[in-house]
Amino acid sequence: MVWGILVTHLSVYWNNDPQYSYGWLVPLLCAYMIAERRSQRPPASSAHLPKVALTILTLAALALLPTWILEQPNPDWRLISWALASETVLITGSILYLTGGRNRLLHFAFPLLFFLTAVPWPFGVEWLVIQKLTGFVVAVTVEIANLFGIAALQHGNVIEVNNGFLGVDEACSGIRSLQASFMASLFIGDLYKFRVSRRISLIAAGAVLALLCNCARAMLLVLVAVNKGADAISQWHDRAGFTILTGCMLGLWLVANWMRGREVQPSKIMPKDTGSPSRLHPALLWSLGAWLVMVLAATELWYRSHEHRTFQTWTFTWPAERASFSEQPFSTEAAGLLKFDEGRAAQWHERDGSSRAAFFLQWKPRPSRSQSLARTHRPEICLAASGYKLGSSFGTVDLTVNGLTIPFEHYLFEKDGRPVHIFFCVWQPHANEATRLASRYSWNRSAGLEFALLGVRNSAQQVLEYAIFDVGAGSNAVDTFTREMPRLIKSIPD
């Protein structure tokens, strides 16, 4: 049951994040490795430290309750994912140790830990590695294109050619297949029983192959844009992604087979039986099962007891009457990546000649999915990767409309030498009693903790990003923003 809880949580990433779609394959590979090891498992032995194992098992099981309660309004919090995965591994490992001793635990440790490859990387690590490598791939692709006489420019993680751009969604999606190559390298290394040094070499080879394949993918899309126009990219986008993933996995398999031919297989020494195997008392298993049921039931009871309340929210009204108002439709790839239920983007000019741009996205209330999608794409990530240079972060600007306080994060970017002030808000409708707490800031982890305490989950989500061009100083931009917003935002009951 505990593994079912973990898979249920991780399935949100596997379904919605292209970088982790391989996650559905990981449980099957784990099952295969466990089945293969069963025929070669060492004799069971008694646990030398049963009290330590029981303590670890108990603490991990108890930690499931607060973790699962916090998970409900925070399914995108990767710390929660790692906490839930660690608790699951510790519970399973403790049971293995108590029933089979140290040798059994070590024998099945790899497939147990291998499941962690399906857990999303901590955001800071992913941002540092994936986005920086994406910039490297774009730079290499631009150099190759120019070398062959194709005029190309780099804007962050986006490539400009003479008749268009390789879409903004590419800047948000990072290096395709890098995480998958890491998972595959570990699996193939275990399948071929490589020694540790060979496994590390195979992981490095997988990372290099992922970079090369992504360069090939980007170059292919550049050629499509140059020869068939930017609109044709959408027709090749998915095919190119599938092709590079297949090519990366095939290349990794070829490298592994080359290594296998040079590998000297060590003689395998079966560990000796060190005593009689221990047996878990049935009461312990029943208690664990009852506790897991109680975790699920208590969490449902907590949140359901706080439902059926009046919620506060707002909507954005577009200045479509302006003569300069221009719709900015989302590309097929961007819409597919964001998966919003309703979304609109536009740009226009004010009477003083300065420019405005905005997008307003809404997700209907759904378990996990709406929260994860709404909070993933932020200005400091997506705009910075799209050629905007982040200058400053000014903190939060609280906007009060009809008694409802709406917090916006304020950033200063530079685009082609022009200052761009970005006001960004991720909003989750909340009950009146939550307003005092959650309206102090736009969505962050403190808000997530408070929503858990208030029993708020599965709420609708909405994102507004409002850009003000060519205004100048930050104070002027804030004054402009607070002056314009009251006529564009309308407070409504949810």
Instruction: For the chain, give every domain's residue range.
Output: 2-120+275-304, 123-262, 311-493
Provide CB contacts within 8 A for 306, sequence distance 6+. Answer: 431, 454, 455, 456
pLDDT for the residue numbered 89: 96
Name the CATH architecture for the domain at 311-493: 3-Layer(aba) Sandwich (3.40)
β partners of residue 412: 392, 421
pLDDT for the residue numbered 435: 44
Half-sphere exposure of 233 (CA within 13 A, CB side): 27
pLDDT for the residue numbered 81: 94
8 Å CB contact between 461 and 451: no
Tell me the mean pLDDT per 10 residues along the chain, length 494.
92 86 94 91 83 94 95 88 96 92 92 95 79 80 87 76 60 64 94 92 92 84 78 69 81 90 56 53 85 94 79 86 89 79 92 88 78 75 74 86 84 86 85 46 66 80 90 76 89 66
d(CA 348, CA 332): 23
8 Å CB contact between 461 and 428: yes
Q: Residue 466 is encoded by which pair of tokens?
A: 């409002």
pLDDT for the residue numbered 201: 94
